[in-house]
Amino acid sequence: MAKDRMKDLKNSIPKSDASYQQLPQVQNHNTLNIVDDCGIPLTSIDIDKEHKVSEFLDRINSLRERIDEIKVLTRDVKKIYERMRQPEPDPELEKKLVGKNAEIKKLRDDIRTELQKLKQEYQFQDETQESAEWRIATVQILNKIKEFHEIMNQYNQEYCTHRDKCEKAVLHELQITGRRTTQSERDEIVVKRMQGEDIIPVIVDKEEIRQQAIFIEERYHDIQRLESTIVELHDMFVDFTELISTQGKMIDNIQQYVLNSADHTEKAVINIAKTTKIKESTSNKKIIVCIIVIVVIIILILIFIAYHTTQKIILGR
């Protein structure tokens, strides 16, 4: 948004420290010459120019006030639209809306006319286009034009938004009731809804809508129960998946245990064979030892007998 340079425009009016003790009696072309105590001219004030600037400022302030009024009225219209979209709107809202719209249109026409006049007055002033006053005035005019366009766009946007919401509500209600309508009938219903009229009796009987609402609510509860059942089944399938995964791990562990047991069994068979061989070898050794012991005993007995026999022979002599 352009900068508000109203203060600069006021400050651009020439000021002087002139003394007003002596003033000339002659005034030509609305120009006032100011002299000091010695009669030397100090400066001059263009009365027409000052009056023109003051008039311009008054016109700009008037435009600002009227634009502010449109802003306030636009907010009021927005609130009325919101209240008219409620289920049971106030019948007096339509009158209020008509009054607000009439005020906005009147202000719009006045502002548009005034802006056109200002543009025509300041558009072709070639001799003053390089002056600060002309530039500031042009900026102020463009600023007000921009503000005016913005607030009117906002006003039109509120109307379009209100129409779109009313149209969506009408289409939703027609879809619920199941009634088929033409485009012209829908447009007529939308216009009535925008004016705050209750279109439900026009579309279908309220009792039928109540029954359909009950039916829809029951179907909604059925859908909710179905959703909860689906969620439970989903949780059950998740549990089954986890259980199958756990059992798969257990089966893998059992298979590993079987393989390990087979290895241990083969080792045990080998050890048993070795033990059998060792046992047979030990038995043979025991037999040999027993034979040796018996032979030794027999030899000892023979030696003992031979010894006693020899002693007897010796003693018999």
pLDDT value at residue 232? 86
Q: What are the phi and psi torsion angles at 45 (to 5°)? A: -115, 125
* Range of the structural domain that residue 188 is part of: 6-203
Is residue 24 over pLDDT 60?
A: no
Q: Would residue 125 count as lying in a domain?
A: yes
- Whether 160 is in a domain gets the answer yes
Percent of the chain whose predicted confidence (pLDDT) is above 70: 74
User: How far, in Å, CA of 172 to CA of 178, rounded?
Assistant: 10
Among 1-5, 33-37, 124-128, 282-286, the range scoring the smallest mean pLDDT is 33-37
At a CB cut-off of 8 Å and minimum separation 6, what does 63 contact?
111, 114, 115, 144, 148
State phi, psi for 150 to the nearest 5 degrees. -65, -45
State the Cα–Cα distance between residues 191 and 276, nearest whole angstrom: 110
Q: What whole-number distance in Å separates Cα of residue 138 and Cα of residue 119?
A: 8
Does residue 243 fall inside a structural domain? no
- Highest mean pLDDT, choosing among 33-47, 139-153, 170-184: 139-153
What DSSP letter does each residue of 235-267 carry, written as one string?
A: HHHHHHHHHHHHHHHHHHHHHHHHHHHHHHHHH
Assess if residue 288 is contained within a domain.
Answer: no
Q: What is the 3-state secondary structure of 61-78?
A: HHHHHHHHHHHHHHHHHH
First vs last Cα of the chain: how many Å apart?
167
Number of domains in the chain: 1
Residues 6+ apart with CB under 8 A from 165: 85
In a domain, 149, yes or no: yes
182 found inside a domain: yes
Domain CATH number, residue 117: 1.20.58.70
Give a yes or no: residue 87 inside a domain. Answer: yes
- Domain presence at residue 218: no
pLDDT over threshold 90, residue 72: yes
